[in-house]
Structure 1
């Protein structure tokens, strides 16, 4: 996927993973977070009246003053007169937008003066602020059972003769909602596992094709009654309303279907004196 890179200007900031220990608005330690985590704590902070807040958050650029000091810029994305603007060093997908760094300041009590601004994330991409559709979310979606085609489909098949199976690989589109965001999900079956009911299974990435171009089949070895169970493995991607970016789902989901029972028969040929289609049917048929 094509990427667009912003101009890199060196500035002092640590690239650290999200600190899950930062779980309250009263936290005053200077910690580093991922963009989505810092946005989460900032959103929680906005639920407190401004005059009562002990922690304040703001997104603003890095700016270099004439003395060479890197400081917080203005929340409109600009710097004070005489200061240079440093863009983030993040690469975003084409169509996405850059997000400015997050800054935090604290005070001991609502009556205390605010402390200095500290950067807690170095900025990122707009897509990083959106919720992530997880594997668990994907598996909760109403994915359809796989279609199933059996040849021959007459209620019985012969031993030692190819029983042909195939399915439909067409992707499906679903709609869901996550944290208030509307989401379009495109799910695609990519791998299928057949259980032929006689102790044999077959896993394939081919959906199969009908006779005579068939490539997925099984030969039964013994007569009896059986069913075939088909398990489809789905991969997916999703797009959040308002964002041009499609994101892959990290994980898979599965759906299953089972055929009606059918018999596996052994038949032999022999010469007869008359046509077996005659009525009444000849006794040697």
Structure 2
């Protein structure tokens, strides 16, 4: 999970906001902070209440949440930004750093005919999905945690197809078309997409185990219509949720047309828990749903 923290150099008064991963340690970003001129080599990190932070401990174990302030005590000459002014540290992924976790995100996208309908911002649902996924992948590629993620994409209507097999995030073509109706555009049978996602998830968890690095899968399911066989869909979801390392997040993608209560209820029931379901309406709410789904529980 990404945390928004504020670093305050108590010697210079310089304040910087930065996005870090909860599984990183202060030491893991120290070199970047030095290169960006936020600190020099001699420093102590502490909280405003005076608690000194262990630089070898990860942010989550330090008990830090988004909005926390970390104060920097620095007795050496401070490195300054030659251009002056405030500069955001570029705490990007270090290609040489080891993985801290290994997560597969499987997008399961409804490609039925109704995905041609309009969203509340008057663009086709299929285009909103395509845009939201591209934006999500671009943001994650810029994250310091980029190397920890892999993705796969499943499209479904009355059958399921594999748009993108399990691929490391940094190897995914940013120009890939994620329009879910390509090769589909028929009826809605959600269980076909879930079944294919289950196969991908189990294969990922069985392969390439790397020591003590935690592995997990998040199945991100989007649908906008009523499933033609909800009983089979529910039973498929129940089988998937037997694994503690697989989580299902779902969204009912509404639009300008009237909502479908039964379809929305089904999506709620498929989700791993009440916090794993969201109703979405447009590109922004979709992107936020995708991001929240893949950030929870890390």
- When the two structures are superposed, what TM-score results if normalisation uses the length of structure 2? 0.27
User: Which is strand-richer, 1 or 2?
Assistant: 1
**In terms of Rg, which structure is larger?**
1
User: What TM-score do the two structures reach when normalised by structure 1?
Assistant: 0.27
Q: Using CA pairs under 8 Å that are at least 6 residues apart, name the structure with larger relative contact order, 1 or 2.
A: 2
